[in-house]
Amino acid sequence: MTDTADTVHYADFHALSREIVRSVETVIDGKREAVELALTTVLAEGHLLIEDVPGVGKTMLARALARSIDCTVNRIQFTPDLLPSDITGVSVFNQADREFEFKPGPVFANIVIGDEINRASPKTQSALLESMEEGQVSVDGRTYPLARPFTVVATQNPVEMEGTYPLPEAQRDRFMVRISMGYPDDVAELAMLRTREKTSPLDSLVPVISLGQLSGMIAAVRGIYVSQAVEQYAVSIAQETRRDRELRLGASPRATLHLVRAAKARAALDGREFVLPDDIDALAVPVLGHRLIAAARIAGTGSAFQSNSIADIIHRIVAATPVPLGAGEPA
Amino acid sequence: MTERRNTTSSGGMRRELPRVLVLLLAFAVTFGGLHTILEGGAWLVLCLVLAVLVFGGGLAVRTLLRGHPVVARIAGPLAGAMLAAAAIVIRFASDAALLGFIPTAAVVDRFRHLIRDAGYSITWQNVPATADEPISFLLAAGATALLLAAEIFAFSLRLPALAGLPLAAIFLVPGMTPEGTTDGWLFAASALAYLALLLVGRAQVGRAGQLVPTVAIGVAAVLSGLVLPGALPSTDLTATSSGLGPTVSTGVNPMLRLGDDLRSTDIHVALTYSTVSGRGEYLRLVEVSDFFSSDWGPSQPSLDSQNRPVDFPRPPGLAVGVTTENEVTYVYVANLVSPWLPVPYPASSITGLDGSWQYLPESFTVASNLSLARGEDYTVSSVVLTPTPDQLLAAGSRVPDGFGEYLSLPPDTPGIIAATAREVTAGESSNYERALALQEYLRSAPFQYSESAPVTDGYDGTGVDVVAAFLEQHRGYCIHFASAMAVMARELGIPSRIIVGFQPGALQNGSDRGRRLFEVTTKDLHAWPELYFAGIGWVRFEPTPSRGNIPDYANATTPGVPVVQGPPAVPSNPESGLDDGSAPQIDQGPTVVRWLSSGQLSSWLAIGGVVVLLFGIVFLPAGLRWMRRRRRLAALRAGRGTAASAWHEVMESAEDIGVTVSRTLTPREAVARLHRVRGMSDAGREALDRIGRAIEREGYGRPTRDGTAGYGESRVIDVRSGLADDLAIVLRCLKAGADGNDRLRATMLPPSLVSRTVKLVGRLA
């Protein structure tokens, strides 16, 4: 995949992003927040973890998002017997050329959908996660760069479900954002019944932006301005999570980095050229929630269901952290 | 740049001159208002000189330093202060100063004494007070401080409205002084001058919210002037007639108002007493021996804490041979408010006093500069002098050394006094006989007791001229009779002094532990002469017809008392002196009481000072808060302000009315919070949104080349445009939504001031 980015002006950015959201929403109804968070992750060059019980549309969201962008999409269904090479690809001996030839695995795509990632063995999980972090795959001593842009959208079931291998915290940390879909409200559920009667709405989905436009949007997000005050604010929140007595594990420096990068994307989606503390506030739970571990007395190990207490702790920390104003008053 | 500066400054000079003149005028008029509590005019001249020096010095410095406006703002008041200080040194301590005006340690010492004496003078003087040296000094120092405050407000801080505070402080002084009255006309004039000041200062301050503080200060000043005096709790020092029921107060100089007291129809019980012997006593308050000024009064006593009245020395001049009788007097002071204690003469000890009292060794009067007589319940041991006529005759015309003070008279003493004295005593050979002759002369026709005649004929009061007039007119009351006898005695070489106190009072039906009880009222205030005889000491006479009693040794009916020739054509008859039948009651009221009750000048200046201080303290938070708001608005209007200025102002104003916006809220959340505040109109919300967007751009946006925050390349929005108007709208809404209490607190005790101070301190720490 080539990485030719179109130049996207801020005025166009907003329109394009609306298009994507509208397109995805024809499939996933009533989940605006999840959709926007997913888009935010893609634009911030992060990876997305969608965590929820089966059947609420996790995969649907991932596929709709991928479909709306004119880019390569691969889907990997994780099972207990899936091998690392099933993801990264293998070198096979070409009898004709009498040499090994690399057959790229499904990870070589702009958007990789990893379904039920926690059903695979840790060894396989880590194969994907390594490529996520490094943006490349090494097979038999050779390194193959992955496509740009590259986003993994993984879904997983809550850990209590049978046959799951929970992601270790080090690997959860690689996902920029974790969202949970939640059940649809009754209106959305009724509408879904009607639209799914005949065909899958996914089939009628057509790309609304080109890969070049997506690259342009990502470049635009990189150009978003983050003031020192906002950086300070993000750092303060991260440090508070490390100090908080109700948390056993606080946010990593990578988490802070992800928080600020996601905030830039959110600012751009909001039509702003600079990040506000409000962006940080809004993304604190999605970005930090899956990385923090509550102290022993608080039940739960990071699942979306049990992380309510984690979300509460994050809300409390955010609410207690002073917001630097950034602008001084002349004396 | 330099050129522009020069033009603005010279324009400033032209603009400033009228301001300085108006300010000068305002202070002149306001200082003039003090005439209700201070006599004479020298103090006013002093104040005006100081005003000219302070404002003139400031103006001169600002003109000289016109290229350096900031330096000039600081140097202006400094120059004024130095000029005023030099003037004060020249006026009060030039002999102790280097080159006449450079302060030295001796000058500081002098000032310390002046301050101490001022406290004394204030305590002991009545209203209107004589602006003596200590009071003048205190006035000069206070005036300088207030003038400097005005100079700083008006020119250094450019807040001419606040120059009203020092003006109001001066204006309040008479209102706070017991008996002090505010001169309505002068008040109106100073109010006009203040308005003029605001008018000429308007260009300087800009438009922002000038009206509210102006009106607030004016209203506060007037209200305090009207309300505070009544609302303040009465202290011992101020306990005169206000709020404590009927009291009798005497001042330091009871003589000044003696006539008023006598003429007053209000009669209050001053004290009750009983004696072991059952006889009534003359009770002395003060001694007057200096006849030089026109306002006679007790000289400022120098109290010595050693002279505690438990043990008096032997009365001056008393020889062993003189018969004395011991007497014990039980006194309860009911309603007499006085720094002097009523005591019979000569006391040997006083017990049972609560306050801190000292006796004066010369006069045997008892005084305090801390306590007042009211409520004292004490026992006086004294002796009653009963010299025989022979002993008095034996004194002859001898006068021991050291009595010059009791013999001196002003050089311009009218000749009629000496002539009359000599005429009356022609043929008498001893001082005793001369004294008897004088007493006899004054108690006989054509002398008449009258409290009104001296007022009608214009010779009421004290002084040798009054005595002369009295000797011509033959009508007067106790003060005139006592003065006449004392002055004539001095003309004849007999040491004399005037005592002001109480005549014995009326016998009551009740009794005090079996002793006869006497009640002394305001009408018993009295003045009488004491003359000195070698070997006997000070001896009382009673020249006033119909008042008191004549001591045995001076009573012609006593066996042995020589019959004097004198001119009396009519035999001495107590009743003959009365000009109407009710006279005994009428004259009774010696002036002392009134003097204190009316004026009790006591400590008016101290109270005034306290009020000024309180006023300052009370309005300090409001002033500071108002100044900050004004500065921000002015900066925004001038294009110098930032969104942060507007933002902080909104946050602090919200905090002031009790709406807390946590610092953990983002600007956007804070705006949303304020949207819900009571009183917020749609226009207010829109203005809030604009301010919120401005602070976001300024605080978090990409800095533009000129240091301000912009919004992308293509859509640069000037964050300052309209911010002042938006801020004004939001502030109006916040104010409209606050209830009366919140609004009052927001104005007078703005909480934001505290939190800001805490923040600043925290940052420093």
In a mutational test of the A interface, the residue from B666, B715, B723 whose CB has the highest number of chain A CBs within 10 Å is: B666
Report CB contact under 8 Å: A227, B701: yes
Determine which helix (DSSP H) or strand (DSSP E) holds B720, and give its type and residue range.
none
Mean pLDDT, chain A, rounded, equals 84
In angstroms, the Cα distances linking A175 to A24, A168, A172, A178, B38 are: 21, 12, 6, 7, 86
Average pLDDT over residues B536-559: 86
Within 8 A of A325 by CB-CB distance, chain B residues are 644, 647, 667, 695, 699
Report CB contact under 8 Å: B663, A323: yes
Model pLDDT for residues B476-494, shown as the tens digit of each residue: 888 889 999 999 999 988 9
* Whether pLDDT at B242 is above 50: no
Secondary structure (DSSP) of B668-692: HHHHHHHHTSTT--HHHHHHHHHHH
Rounded Cα gap, residues B553 and B530, in angstroms: 13
Q: Is B709 on the interface with A (CB under 8 A)?
A: yes
Average pLDDT over residues B726-739: 88
Provide the pLDDT for residue B661: 85
For A328, which residue in chain B has the nearest alpha carbon?
A: B644
Q: Is A158 on the interface with B (CB under 8 A)?
A: no
Per-window interface: A 259-278 vs B, CB < 8 A: 273-278
CB-closest option in B663, B696, B702 to A322 = B663
| Range in B446-450, B467-471, B626-630, B701-705 the model is least confident about | B701-705
Query: Which SS3 state, helix, strand or coil, does residue B337 take?
Result: strand
* Whether pLDDT at B226 is above 70: no
Q: Is A330 on the interface with B (CB under 8 A)?
A: yes
Q: Are A217 and A16 in contact (CB under 8 A)?
A: yes
Report CB contact under 8 Å: B641, A330: yes
Per-window interface: B 491-550 vs A, CB < 8 A: none
Model pLDDT for residues B420-473, shown as the tens digit of each residue: 988 888 888 888 989 999 998 998 888 888 888 887 787 877 888 888 888 888
Report CB contact under 8 Å: A225, B701: yes
Provide the pLDDT for residue A287: 94
Using only C-alpha atoms, chain B has a radius of gyration, in whole angstroms, of: 35
Q: Which of B132, A46, B627 is nearest to A38 (CA)?
A: A46
The residues that bridge with A145 in the sheet, in sequence order, are A136
The residues that bridge with B506 in the sheet, in sequence order, are B519
* Whether pLDDT at B595 is above 70: no
CB atoms within 10 A of CB A245: 7
Mean pLDDT, chain B, rounded, equals 77
Q: Are B234 and B243 in contact (CB under 8 A)?
A: yes
Ramachandran sector of residue B352 (left: φ over 0; alpha: ψ -120 to 50; beta: rest):
left
Provide the pLDDT for residue B334: 80
Provide the pLDDT for residue B213: 56
* Whether pLDDT at A240 is above 90: yes
pLDDT category, B499, cuts 50, 70, 90? very high
For B694, which residue in chain A has the nearest alpha carbon?
A: A327
Provide the pLDDT for residue B600: 40
Q: How far is A327 from chain B (nearest CA, A)?
A: 4
B181-217: buried (b, 16+ CB within 10 Å) or exposed (e) per residue?
ebbeebbebbbebbebbbebbeeebeebbbeebbebb
Give Cα B459 distance to the centre of its chain: 28
Query: At B538, phi and psi to the nearest 5?
Result: -80, 135
Q: How far is B666 from chain A (nearest CA, A)?
A: 6
Average pLDDT over residues B375-383: 88
* Whether pLDDT at B92 is above 70: yes
Q: Are B120 and B237 in contact (CB under 8 A)?
A: no
Report CB contact under 8 Å: B700, A326: yes
Model pLDDT for residues A22-61, shown as the tens digit of each residue: 998 888 877 888 899 999 999 999 999 998 887 788 888 8
Q: Are B476 and B443 in contact (CB under 8 A)?
A: no
Provide the pLDDT for residue A234: 95
In angstroms, the Cα distances linking A156 to A46, A47, A88, A95, B586 are: 17, 13, 20, 40, 112
CB atoms within 10 A of CB A177: 26
Counting beta carbons within 10 angstroms of the beta carbon of residue B262, is it exposed (0 to 12), middle (13 to 18) or buried (19 or more)? buried
In a mutational test of the A interface, the residue from B70, B673, B700, B723 whose CB has the highest number of chain A CBs within 10 Å is: B700
* Whether pLDDT at B594 is above 60: no
Rounded Cα gap, residues A211 and A216, in angstroms: 8
Q: Which of B223, B151, B164, B149 is nearest to B194 (CA)?
A: B164
Nearby residues of A293 by Cβ (< 8 Å), 6 or more positions away: A169, A247, A248, A249, A301, A302
Q: Is B403 on the interface with A (CB under 8 A)?
A: no
Output the six-digit token pair for A83.
């091998």
Q: How far is A36 from chain B (nearest CA, A)?
A: 20
Rounded Cα gap, residues B59 and B742, in angstroms: 41
Q: Which of A253, A249, A248, A277 is nearest to A263 (CA)?
A: A277
Q: Is B700 on the interface with A (CB under 8 A)?
A: yes
Percent of chain B exceeding pLDDT 70 equals 78
Rounded Cα gap, residues A206 and A255, in angstroms: 34
Average pLDDT over residues A60-77: 88
Q: Is B462 on the interface with A (CB under 8 A)?
A: no
Q: Is B697 on the interface with A (CB under 8 A)?
A: yes
Strand A111-115 to A151-156 pairing: parallel
Q: Are B414 and B463 in contact (CB under 8 A)?
A: no
Percent of chain B exceeding pLDDT 90 equals 11
* Whether pLDDT at B689 is above 50: yes
Provide the pLDDT for residue A257: 95
ipTM, 2 dp: 0.84
The C-alpha angle B81, B87, B93, rounded to 5 degrees, equals: 120
CB-closest option in A319, A322, A327 to B699 = A327
- Could you tell me which residue, B335 or B471, shows the higher pLDDT? B471
Q: Is A317 on the interface with B (CB under 8 A)?
A: no
Provide the pLDDT for residue A140: 79
Rounded Cα gap, residues A262 and A240, in angstroms: 19
For A278, which residue in chain B has the nearest alpha carbon?
A: B666
Average pLDDT over residues B373-400: 85
Report CB contact under 8 Å: B711, A273: yes
Within 8 A of A317 by CB-CB distance, chain B residues are none
Within 8 A of B701 by CB-CB distance, chain A residues are 225, 227, 273-274
Q: Which of B473, B485, B469 is nearest to B550 (CA)?
A: B485
Place of tokens 């009774």: B588
Rounded Cα gap, residues B19 and A142, in angstroms: 88
Average pLDDT over residues B319-343: 84
Rounded Cα gap, residues B172 and B613, in angstroms: 11
Rounded Cα gap, residues A274 and A230, in angstroms: 10
For the beta sheet containing B358-359, the strands, ordered from the edge strand earlier in sequence to the opposite edge, are: B340-341, B366-367, B358-359
Place of tokens 């609410």: A319
Q: Are B257 and B598 in contact (CB under 8 A)?
A: yes
Rounded Cα gap, residues B736 and B729, in angstroms: 10
pLDDT category, B180, cuts 50, 70, 90? low
Chains A, B: CB pairs < 8 Å: 74
* Whether pLDDT at B374 is above 80: no
Reported as half-sphere exposure (CB side, CA atoms, 13 A), residue A231 has a value of: 8
Average pLDDT over residues B507-528: 83
Provide the pLDDT for residue B344: 92
Secondary structure (DSSP) of B245-266: SS-EE--S-GGGGHHHHHH---
For B665, which residue in chain A has the nearest alpha carbon?
A: A323
For A326, which residue in chain B has the nearest alpha carbon?
A: B699
Rounded Cα gap, residues A231 and A260, in angstroms: 7
- DSSP letter, residue B596: I
Place of tokens 């010696």: B590
In angstroms, the Cα distances linking B658 to B152, B677, B678, B745, B762 are: 32, 10, 11, 9, 22
Average pLDDT over residues B142-171: 83
Q: Which of B68, B507, B59, B599 is nearest to B280 (CA)?
A: B507
Strand B324-333 to B377-385 pairing: antiparallel
The set of long-range contacts for B692-697, using a CB threshold of 8 Å and a minimum separation of 24, is B692/B647, B692/B667, B692/B668, B694/B643, B694/B646, B694/B647, B694/B719, B694/B720, B694/B723, B695/A325, B695/A327, B695/B643, B695/B644, B695/B646, B695/B647, B695/B667, B696/A274, B696/A276, B696/B667, B696/B668, B697/A274, B697/B643
Nearby residues of B370 by Cβ (< 8 Å), 6 or more positions away: B355, B356
pLDDT category, A255, cuts 50, 70, 90? very high
Model pLDDT for residues A161-172, shown as the tens digit of each residue: 667 777 888 888
Rounded Cα gap, residues B204 and B155, in angstroms: 10
Q: Is B287 on the interface with A (CB under 8 A)?
A: no
pLDDT category, B266, cuts 50, 70, 90? low
